[in-house]
Amino acid sequence: MEVKLQVENEILDKIKHTFHSAEVSIPRKQRVEVKLRNDLIHPFLAYLKDTLGFKHLSHISTVDWLEEKEIELVYIVMNYDNLVEVIAKIRLDREKPEIPTLREFWPQVETYEREIHEMYGVNFLGHGNLTDFILEDWEGIPPMRRDFDTVKYAKETYFNRPGREDAQDVRTTITKKSGEEIPELAKVYSVRHLE
Amino acid sequence: MREKETTIYLGPQHPGITGNMMVKLKVTGDTIVRAETHVGYLHRAFEKLMEARTWLQCFPIVCRICVPEPDPNEENLSRVIEEIEGREVPERAKYIRVLVLELSRLATYLLWMGGQSGSMGLYTMPQWTVGDRDYILDLFEQLTGGRVYHMYIWPGGVRRDLPEGFGDKVLKVMDYLEKRLKDYDDLLFNNALFYKRAKGVGVIDKNKAQEWGVVGAPLRGCGIKHDVRIDEPYEVYDKLNFIVPTYEGGDVWARAMVRRQEFEQSISIVRQVIENMPGGDFYNKIPNPLNWRVPPGDAYVKTESARGEFGYYAVSDGSLKPRRVHARGPAYVHGVSLLERILQGANIADVSFIMNSLGTCPPEIER
């Protein structure tokens, strides 16, 4: 096992040597996971890209940790030479998530940041083009946050319009027509149950 | 006389656009000065929906993320769950998964051949390839019960075993497709018109390709040999023999030729899978799916889809439902930042031609 993870361990050592505060681990072959302080993400990705040759940005993902009042940004970058992927994670304050943009690193970052701004409300300082990407003219809390109530939104927006009084619950309609009961098992996931 | 700059909106409904999206073009004469992608017409909030459903209920959702190619989504989500959970998959299930993935790749390439030649006005190809794709869909129907969306691969293996005599049927279709490939060569790939039309169009700079996030056939069309099946073998790809073709040039023609060679390779992989299919179990049963908790953790897995690296990043918090599932499709980069870049200086008539060759798929951008 030790021999197999040689490349991963080399990368781990280099990262640890340069960024002392980073928590580095190897979850499996071809993966290195790094937990960073927020202000270090810029120098860290610059170091990975320019010095260690991690040229390919696989994607940027976001996880909302509502209970911990934090928003996690996950950067996944890959090196085409040794085929290792580094998963870099930072955690921002959920009340006021702000971080300088990474636009100058990879051109596709612009799209990712626009989407994360729209869906999670993270402000990327210096981005310059944080306009609507998928949504149009959205107000209120960003929709991908955990405290956004989809059922409430759907009811207000779609269900109670005139002409849709049956609230579009197919199960209820079928039950009325056929006289059969909805099984207990299915009720758990029924829209009616969520009311 | 100075030429005036005009704005043209291509899409969201347009026969040349591969799905519902809009490209806003600033043109002078026939030449594009600036292109801007507008998406949002197909947003169904899949990632949000998944957070409100149990892990197993996510499967009918993920296959809708890409219409022409749903199987990499199912396979990715299964594998990411298996990786978080540490669940073993039987060898036979892995072989069946590769069979499904490769058949799906062939079906996608057939659809792409139709789209690529349709966008240059060669309408015989779509008639042929869409018809031939139906033979593969027939196979899927027998195997999974669905033609386009299968929901067949799930955590722990696959849903059903191969039907009796299925291997022979697959081999028959493979023989047929191999024979048909000669016709496709005559009509499209060896066609001088196609060469003239596609050579030098939509060029991706080789030195910038990796940095721009180009993956899949467009990357191999730049002469860079990179394929997830080789770089990070998943399922049983490390036990199969196949080559990764590359072409120089980075233009539409190079990408087309890469895909044409891969079509042949896929046929060979399917044959190898049928030949080496082991016996035994096809499913490592999960506990009661309504009360199935995946242990806390996160993982990133990826697949080589017909259009490039397809990845899933999933986070579990130990509850019945996923905390987060993020689908990374190749079109997210190809269809927005890359397309905007390489459309600069192109001809208006080449927009859908280039879009097709990049494998743009709007539902995957919006998810």
A82 touches chain B (CB under 8 A): no
A45 and A127: one domain?
A: yes
- Residues B305, B228 contacting (CB under 8 angstroms): no
Task: Specify whether A13 is located in the same domain as A105.
Answer: yes
B305-352 pLDDT tens trace: 988 889 999 999 888 889 999 998 888 888 888 988 899 888 888 888
Specify the pLDDT at position B141.
92
Question: What does the pLDDT read at residue B178?
Answer: 92
Q: ipTM score here?
A: 0.88
Q: How many domains does chain B have?
A: 1
In a domain, A157, yes or no: yes
The pLDDT score that the predictor gives to residue B168 is: 92
Tokens (6 digits) for B53? 């459903």
- Which of B226, B298, B309, B338 is best to mutate for the A interface (most A CBs within 10 A)? B298
Q: Report the pLDDT value the prediction gives residue A29, as an integer from 0 to 100.
A: 85
Q: How confident is the model at residue A90 (pLDDT cuts 50, 70, 90)?
A: very high
Task: Give me the pLDDT at residue A193, please.
Answer: 45
Considering the domain architecture, whether residues A32 and A126 belong to the same structural domain is answered as yes
A62 assigned to some structural domain = yes
Question: Does A141 fall in a domain?
Answer: no
Which one, of A50, A48, A42, A49, lies nearest residue A15 by Cα?
A48
pLDDT band for position A159 (cuts 50, 70, 90):
low
Within a domain: B127 = yes
Q: Do A106 and B212 touch (CB under 8 A)?
A: yes
Q: Does B226 touch chain A (CB under 8 A)?
A: yes
Are A65 and A73 contacting, i.e. CB atoms less than 8 angstroms apart?
Answer: no
Q: How many domains does chain A have?
A: 2
> So what's the pLDDT on residue B320?
87
Q: For chain B, what percent of residues have pLDDT higher than 90? A: 35
With 50 as the cut, is the pLDDT of residue A194 above it? no
Q: Are residues A76 and A121 in the same domain?
A: yes
Q: Both A102 and A126 in a single domain?
A: yes
Residue scoring higher pLDDT (A178 or A39): A39
Ordered alpha helix ranges (H), chain B: 46-51, 59-62, 71-85, 91-118, 124-144, 166-184, 192-198, 206-209, 217-220, 228-231, 252-276, 331-332, 339-342, 351-358, 362-366
- pLDDT at position A195, please? 44
Asked whether the beta carbons of residue A111 and residue B337 sit closer than 8 angstroms, the reply is yes
Verify whether the Cβ–Cβ distance A107 to B341 is below 8 Å: yes
Residues A122 and A159 reside in one and the same domain? no
pLDDT of res. A1: 44
Same domain, A195 and A107: no
Instruction: Average the pLDDT over B152-157 and give the result.
Output: 89
Given a contact cutoff of 8 angstroms between Cβ atoms, the answer to whether B324 and B47 are in contact is: yes
Q: How much is the pLDDT for A186?
A: 65
Say what the pLDDT of residue B292 is: 85
Boundaries of domain holding B230: 8-366
Q: Which domain holds residue A187?
A: 149-195
Angle between helices B124-144 and B91-118 (to 10 degrees): 160
Q: Is residue A73 part of a domain?
A: yes
Q: Would you say residue A38 lies in a domain?
A: yes
* pLDDT tens-digit map of B84-117: 988 889 999 999 999 999 999 999 999 999 988 9
How far is residue B152's CA from residue B82's CA, in Å, rounded to a whole number?
16
Residue ending a domain, among A82, A109, A134, is A134
Residue A140 lies in a domain: no
**B139: its two tokens:** 């196979």
Residues of chain A with Cβ-Cβ distance to B312 below 8 Å are none
Collect all residues with Cβ–Cβ distance below 8 Å to A106 and sequence separation of at least 6.
A57, B211, B212, B213
Q: Does B44 touch chain A (CB under 8 A)?
A: no
* DSSP secondary structure string for all residues of B166-226: HHHHHHHHHHHHHHHHHHHIIIIIT-HHHHHHHTTSSPPPHHHHTTTT--SHHHHTTT---
